[in-house]
Structure 1
Amino acid sequence: MSAAELDLVTLERLRPVADAAQVSVLLGAGASAAAGLPDWNSLATKLLQLSGTIDDEETARAFLAGQDPSLAAEAAKAAADDWLELVREALYPPSLGEAEPAALHLAVASLAAGRLVGEVGLFTLNFDLLIEWALQDALDEVGSDAGVHARDTEDDRAPRDAFEVHHLHGYLGQDPVDTGEIVLTLSDFTKLSAQSSPWQRAELQSALSRGPLLLAGTSYRDSDIRQWLHELNLATRPDKGFILLARESFGLSRHQFDLVKDALVAQWASIGVSAVLVQDYSDAAQAIRELSALNDVDYLAPKVRAGALWDGIQGDFEQLQREHSDQLARDLTRLRPVLGDDANMTLWLADGAGHIVRWSSHDRLYRGAEQLRTVPVGHDSPWIAGQCLGRSEILARNLSEAMSTRRWQSVVAAPCVADLPGGPPLPTAVLSSAATSPLENQDLDAWHQVLTELAEEWAGRLSTLAE
C-alpha cells in the first residue's frame, strides 16, 4: 500500500492509540534511514572503513554478515583517535549535505505540536536531532512558543514548558556542539543492560502508565530494547503496545512480505505488542497523522479520500483532460529557463487501489481511461512516480538504459499533498518532469525549487476539485 491506500481496517488497529488522552511514540533507525542517514549495518560498515580497521566496503560488509554490529563497532573504536568524531563522520557523510527530517519525524512532530506539552511522550533510538528540528518547525507553524529539549542522561531534564525528546541511546548531532553520551558498542550495551534501574526503562514505564506506546521505524534487534520491553510486561497490559512495521525496513518484496506477515504479527504478539503492517515508512507516517482525525464524525480513511478524488476526476474526463494538459503546458514554461526547450511535464494520480496513474501530460490528450498507464506504488516501484508517492518526497533520478528512451535521460518527481475532505493532508499525486540530459548537466537545485512550487499549486487544485 501507499499512504493513499491506508484503509479503515488497518487504522482501526490503532484505535486505542487514537482514543488515548496521552500517548508515547518511539522512533527507530528506519525513521532516519528515510532521511538518508545510515542504518545500523551501514553505520558499522562505515566505522570499520573510516577507522582503518578494514579498508574496503565489500570486506567490511562480509565481516559484519556473521556477527553483531555492536561488536564490530568495538574494533572501530579501538582504532579511533576521536571516537565521537569518527561516529559523527560515519553518521553524516559529506554527500548527505544538511540532514532534513523525513516523513516519520514530521508526522510525530505534527502529532506532538497539536497537543499540550506532556501529552505525547517522545522517544528515539537515534543519535540525530531530526525529530527535534521537525518538532520546532511544527511548533512555530502552530504559533507555540514551547521549547524542545534533547535528553540523554538521567538528570538532563527539560523545563516544564518544553517538549522532551528522550534519546535512549544518546545523541550526536551533525553540529559538533550537539554532542552527548551515546550507546553504540557492545560494551556500551552491556554496561547499560547491567544497570538495575536505567533511566530509559523507568521513563518508558512511566510513559506506559499514562497511555499506550507506539513504535515505528524500529525492530527487535537492540538487546536493551528487548530487555526493557520484556520487563515492561506488555503481554499483561492489553492495548498498551503497538508497532508500525513497514515492508521497506525488511528489504522484502511484496510477495515475500505477504509470506511472513503472520510470523511478524505472532512474533510481536508474543511480547504483548500489536503489529500493524504497512508497505513504506511514509505509510507509517501517514497512519500517525491520521490518529488526530480518526475519531472525527466525518472522518474518511486515506483509501476512500484518494479513491473519491480519482473517481471524481474520471467522471469529468474529457474536460479535465483539456484543462490539466493546458495547465501543464503553462507550467512547463516556468521550467524551460532551467531545463531548456526540450522537457516534459506529467501529472500522476493515485487511484486508491495501490497504483498511480499517468493522468495528464503537457503535449497530449487521452481520450479514455484505457489509454492511461497504471504503475505500482512503493519505495521499490520500478517507476519513479511510484517511488515518489511511496516515499512522499521529491526524487531525482538518471534514467537507466532499460527505462529511458532515446530522448529522456533524467527525471525529477515531486509529491502533491492535497487537503481532501475527511482527514488530514494526503500525498495523492505526483508531478514529474524529464530532461534530455543527465542530472549532472542540470541545475538540480533550481529544478527542485520550481517543481516543488508547481507541485504545491497542483495540490491546491486537487484540493479544490475534491471539495
Structure 2
Amino acid sequence: MSGHVFVVGADLTRLSCDDVLVPTGRSLRVSPGWCPLLPAELVSDADDAGACVGLAWEAGERVLEVPGDGARRTWLVDTVDDEGRGLPWLLEGAREALDAVARRAVPEPAHGRARRLVGLPALGTGWGGAAGMRGALLQQLLPVLREAAHEHGFDVALVLKRPSDLAAAQRVRRGEDGGWDLPEHLQELARQLGDRAGRGQLAVFLGAGVSAAAGLPTWEQLVDELAGRTGLDDEVRAGLTGLPPQDSAALLARELGNEALEAYVKERFGPGPYALAHALIADLPVQEFVTTNYDPLLEQAAADMGRSLRVLPFEEARPGAPWLLKLHGDAARPESIVLTREEYLRHGDSRAALAGVLHSLLLTRHVLFVGTSMLDDDLIRIAHEVRSALRLEGSGRVHRSGTVLTLRRDVARARLWERDVETVAMADDDVPAAEAARRLEVLLDLIGCLSTPPNGYLLDPAYRGLLDEEERALADALATVADLVPDDGSSGAGRQVAALLRRLGLQRGD
C-alpha cells in the first residue's frame, strides 16, 4: 500500500515521528538545533555554530543510523556538497536515506499510528549549498519522496520551518498531482473547507482525539490511569465507566485529593512532542481555535512556525492576533482545570462566558470539529442554544454552522446533529480505526495545501525561480519599498508595511 507525503510547518525535534533524517557533512557536524535528537554522549564540541557527532563514516556511505534504544530513530545524511555536484547528488542522498530507513523494521508505529512516519527537512538548504535554490529543490524533492513512500509504504513528512518555505511547497503541490489518496467526496470537502479557510471564514474546534495521536490519554484512559493510583477495588473501578464523566472524576478526586489530581493532570498533559495533526491544524490560515483539551501542544506547534496563539481566558486577545480558547482549563494552570461535577457547577458563570465565544463562532464562522465525539455536555448545550437563537418559526430553515470529522460512520449521531452540523466520516466500519485516523491527517494536509496563501514566498529570493513574469515584476517593485522601510517600522504606516513585507516572504539579510 502506498504511503503519503505530508508537507507541514513544524519543528522536527518536537514532531512525533518514528524516524528523523538529520543533515550533516563528512565532518559529522550538525547545526545546534538538531542536538535534542542525538544521545548526549555522542555530542561534543557544541557551541552556537553547531556540534560534532561521535560517529564515523564508512568509505562511500552517506547515511548513518544513530544508535539508540528509544522508539524514535535518528539518521544522519551527508548533504554538504563541497564538490559542486548539485541537486541530483542531494536527491540521491535522500533516496539512499529513505531506503536505509525502510530496512529498519518497525513493528508498531508511534502511538498506534497506521503507518510509520518518517520526518525530514528540505535537505541541503542549510549548510548543504541549496539554500538559494529552494524552489528547484522542492520541485525535484517532492517526487523523490512520493516514489519512496509508494515503494516502501511508509508516510513521509517534509517539515519546513519558514512560512515562505511552506507557502512555496504548497504552490508546487497545487501545480501537480499531489497523490491524494482520498475518495472524491473527501477531496470536495477539502476544497470547500480550504476555500473557507482562505477567506477567513473557518474556525477549528479540537477534541481529545487530536492529542491522543501524541500519546495523551482520552477521557476514558485518563479515568483508568487515575483509578490505578487509588486504592479502589476492582468492582468500583469497573463501575467508573458507567458514571457520567464529571461524576467519575469527582469520585477519583475524593480518593486522591484535589491537589494530587491537579498535580497529575499538570504533569500528564504538560509540554511534549506534538502529533502530525497538531501541526497540520496549526498551519491553517485560521485565527480562532477552541478546545476542551488541557495540553499545550497546539500552541507549541503554532509557535514553531512563528505564530503566537493568545490563550484565552488567561491572556488578553489582541486585534488581528490568532487565539485559542480553552473551555475546560489549562494544564499549566491546574486551578483552572474543570474535571468534576462540582467544578462544572462552581465555575458555571465563567464557563457560560467562555461558551459565549463558541456561540459567536457558530454564528459567524464555519467551525471545523476535529477529534471530538460531540458527546460533551457543553457542546450539546451550546449547539442547542445556537439552534434556538436561529430558529425561524414555521420556516423549516436548517443552519449548519460546522463540519464534524469522525473516523467511522455513526448514522444515529449524524442524524441527531444534522440540524446543526454536517458529520463526515473518514471511512466505513470495515476500515481499521488507525487507518481512518490517518485518512483524517491526509484530509487536513489537503485542506492546508489548498488554503495556504499563494504569496508567502514572493519576496524570498530563494524562490524567484517559481515566479512568473508578473510576479517577478511585483517582487522587484516591492524590493525597492523594502529598502525604504526598517524591519520594525518607525511609524504606524511603516510597521504595517513591514508586516506585509514579512508576510510576502521578505527575509531580512538576504
| TM-score normalised by structure 1 residue count | 0.49
| TM-score normalised by structure 2 residue count | 0.45
